[in-house]
């Protein structure tokens, strides 16, 4: 049996990447990055603040963490609502205690329903990152471009109105994109996104609408992946963050600065039997001679000139 010639044809196949957004780059052969105060590892904090409609949409796909059983699924709905009623404020207290700011990736529906929560985030000096409309606002190939553009614009408009400042960053639901997303985000005036996970440093994407920086947000070290998916303890989570910091710090001594994002979920990390361990981890990070605990936007600001100079 022979295959038709077109079976092996793939219009995006080329040397290096399967796209033209950026060239291949070996992390260990790049010019070194420097962080403020000579720190070795940037630790940007990202909190996903989500609103789950009680009736989920499976188009184009069901978002991770969505309702699971026959609807109305009040058990899972209220477990997630714990994050907006309790967890987010517990995290805000933990950040204030440690003297750090974070980036809050906020569903626009959170700002519409709970404007006082956005006020508390802004009042703490934290950064607002756009995180779609709600947990039904997923993006994937097949979503019409006009619908995706409208989703991005609607999210930005609501968050800008609620916070008084247009977000500079974007995090997609499930970090999922279509072929059009980087271009549409650049066209919307966003400076950075957190969807692609393929590096330990930010890098520049080039689109027809202009450049946008991708700050890789490691999925494997998120609390959702370690605690919820892998069913590990919060102590295991903290140990893995410490191990990652030690390894990246050692690399930085030879190759320049590295990055270790913390991706947190209020209804997971801020439960009363986990928050104490997390507060201790924050205290370790803020007193570490190698860690620069900060927001994603500040990491992007610190690397933007470097990226322009090196083209990385």
The 10s digit of each residue's pLDDT in 243-278 is 999 999 999 999 999 999 999 999 999 999 999 999
Query: What does the pLDDT look like over 171-222, one tens digit per residue?
Result: 999 999 999 999 999 999 999 999 999 999 999 999 999 999 999 999 999 9
- Residue 307 has what pLDDT? 87
Cβ(258)–Cβ(42) under 8 Å? Answer: yes
Cβ(279)–Cβ(97) under 8 Å? Answer: yes
Dig out the tokens for 70 from the structure.
């026959």
Residue 174's region, left for phi above 0, alpha for psi from -120 to 50, else beta, is: left
Q: How far apart are CA 251 and CA 273, in angstroms?
A: 34
Mean pLDDT of 136-160: 97
pTM across the whole model: 0.93
Helix axes 234-255, 275-287, angle to 10 degrees: 20
Q: Among 153, 168, 253, 162, which residue's Cα sits nearest to residue 202? A: 168
- Residue 253 has what pLDDT? 96
User: Please, what are the domains in the chain?
Assistant: 34-310 (3.20.20.370)
Query: What does the pLDDT look like over 5-32, one tens digit per residue?
Result: 777 777 766 666 788 899 999 999 999 9
Residue 147 has pLDDT above 70, yes or no: yes
Q: How far apart are CA 247 and CA 265, in angstroms?
A: 25
């Amino acid at each position: 049996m022979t295959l038709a010639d077109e079976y092996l044809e793939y219009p995006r196949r080329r040397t290096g990447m399967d796209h033209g957004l950026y060239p291949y780059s070996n992390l260990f052969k790049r010019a070194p990055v420097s962080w403020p105060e000579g720190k070795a590892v940037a630790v940007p904090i990202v909190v996903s603040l989500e609103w789950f409609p009680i009736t989920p949409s499976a188009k184009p796909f069901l978002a991770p963490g969505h309702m699971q059983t026959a609807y109305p699924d009040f058990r899972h709905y209220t477990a997630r609502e714990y994050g907006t009623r309790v967890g987010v404020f517990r995290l805000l207290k933990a950040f204030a205690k440690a003297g750090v700011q974070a980036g809050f990736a906020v569903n626009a529906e959170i700002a519409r329903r709970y404007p006082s929560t956005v006020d508390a985030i802004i009042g703490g000096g934290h950064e607002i990152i756009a995180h779609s409309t709600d947990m039904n606002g997923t993006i994937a190939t097949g979503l019409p471009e006009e619908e995706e553009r409208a989703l991005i614009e609607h999210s930005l408009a609501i968050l800008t109105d609620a916070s008084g400042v247009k977000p500079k960053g974007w995090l997609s639901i499930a970090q999922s994109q279509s072929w059009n997303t980087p271009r549409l985000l650049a066209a919307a005036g966003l400076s950075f996104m957190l969807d692609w996970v393929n590096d330990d440093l930010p890098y520049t994407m080039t689109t027809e609408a202009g450049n946008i920086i991708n700050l890789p947000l490691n999925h494997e070290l998120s609390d959702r992946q370690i605690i919820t998916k892998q069913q590990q303890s919060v102590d295991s989570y903290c140990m893995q963050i410490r191990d990652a910091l030690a390894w990246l710090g050692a690399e930085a001594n030879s190759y320049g600065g590295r990055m270790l994002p913390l991706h947190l979920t209020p209804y997971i990390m801020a439960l009363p039997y986990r928050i104490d361990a997390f507060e201790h981890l924050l205290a370790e990070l803020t007193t570490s001679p190698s860690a620069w605990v900060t927001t994603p936007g500040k990491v992007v600001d610190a690397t933007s000139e470097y990226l322009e100079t090196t083209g990385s």
